[in-house]
Amino acid sequence: MRDNYPSPPDSGIRIPCDSDRGIPRILVPQIVVEGVSKNYGASRVVDNLSFEVAGGQILGLVGQNGAGKTTTLQMLAGITRPTTGSVRIAGHDLRKSPINAKKSLGYIPDSPRLFTGLTVWEHLAFAAATYGVEDFRPKAESLLAQLELNDKRNELAQNLSLGMRQKVSIACAYLHNPKVLLFDEPLTGLDPNGIRILTDSMRRLAAEGASIIISSHLLKVVEDLCTDLLLLNNGKRVAFGRLESVVGGCAASGAASGLEDVFFAITRDGG
């Protein structure tokens, strides 16, 4: 099913591969989460969460509203501090060495917010300066072309639609070739063409060795796109592993036949 998609234009992002099959050389875990919990006041939003994502993997983060998906992603992005536990991004401890960890990171939040008064191109220029991307222009040009933003480069952020803002946010996150990409509901506001461009680019980046986490309520998209699955319920990990094995395991026990059935079966049982 995944092969049905046409190849996207060149993103300009290349990580050496072992062979033409696109198996990335980097197979060590790029994201290591160990015993992470997060409390807000008396309530525990994320509870003792542990998982790893290796280069080339696309992890689908799935759960009901309030399951702790966004909080988990914000902790991985270094925006929120975990109450307990540790996070390692590309070999760097996020608490002890946050700058090095964040240099390897690209984060796209659920509602993209851009700086009012700055144009699309100025956002890319700032992102390039932030991550020290030398001669960013060819890469930025390529990303603008891929994301169909060429004619919007001089448009002010406040004049863009939600989908366009999302694309600018994605372009900024892609610019420095991050080893780890975190997407929080990335398909919100995108048109069908935009969705296809984004999902194709995710596959390409994963094939080139990036570790990707995507949080989404669109289970069909997760099923099509992801290699691995992490299912959260009330902040706790209730299922984790290769997508096929999680779905297959449930199917074997007669509980489900697809991701949607797995989701309902597990969340109904409360994990």
Partner 1 sequence: MELALFQLLALRLRGGLRTRLQQLLSVRGLVYFCISCFVPLIIWIGLHRLSASTLNLSIATSVQLETFMVLGLVAATLLPLLTASSPAFHYSPEEVQFLRAGPFSRQSLVLYKIFSAASGAALTGLILASATFFAHGRFPTSVFFGTLLTLLFVRLSSATVRSAWRLFAQMRLFSSLPQVSSLLLACTLGLLAWLLLASFGGSLVEALLAFCETPTGEFLLLPFKAFVRVTLADRMFPDLILWSAFAVAINLFLLLLLLRLDSVIDSCMEDEPSENRSSELQSSGDLLVSSSAAVTQLLPYRFGGVGPIVWRQLVRARRSAGTALLGLTVLAILGGPILVQGLSGYPALTRIGIAVTFAIFVLPKTMTFDFRGDATSLSWLKGLPLRADSIALGQLMTPVILTSCIELLFLGSTICLLDESSYHKLLALVPFVLPFNLLLYSIENGTFLLVPFRVMPTGRIDFEFFGRSVFEVLTKMLLLSLMIAVSARAGRLVSSMANESAFVFYATTWLALSFAAALAVWIVALIFKRSEHPSDVLPQPE
DSSP string, 186-230: TTTT--HHHHHHHHHHHHHHHHTT-EEEEE-S-HHHHHHH-SEEE
Burial grade of 153 (CB within 10 A; 0-12, 13-18, 19 or more): middle
Q: Which stretch binds partner 1 (CB under 8 A): 33-41, 203-211, 217-225, 254-262?
A: 33-41
Nearest distance, CB of residue 235 and partner 1, angstroms: 15
Q: Which residue has the tokens 């851009």?
A: 114
DSSP 98-109: HHHHHHTEEEE-
Please, which residue, 114 or 239, has the CB nearer to partner 1? 114
* Beta-sheet strand order (sheet of 228-233): 105-108, 180-184, 211-215, 58-63, 228-233, 236-242
Interacting span for partner 1 (CB under 8 A) from 122-130, 137-145, 202-210, 214-222: 122-130
Considering only 12-20, 120-128, 203-211, 247-255, which stretch makes contact with partner 1 by CB under 8 A?
Answer: 120-128
77 part of the interface to partner 1, by CB under 8 A: yes
Q: Which of 42, 138, 151, 253 binds partner 1 (CB under 8 A)?
A: 42
Point out which residues bind partner 1 (CB under 8 A).
39-42, 77-79, 81, 83-84, 95, 98-100, 102-103, 105, 107, 109, 111-119, 122, 125-127, 129-131, 156, 158, 169, 172
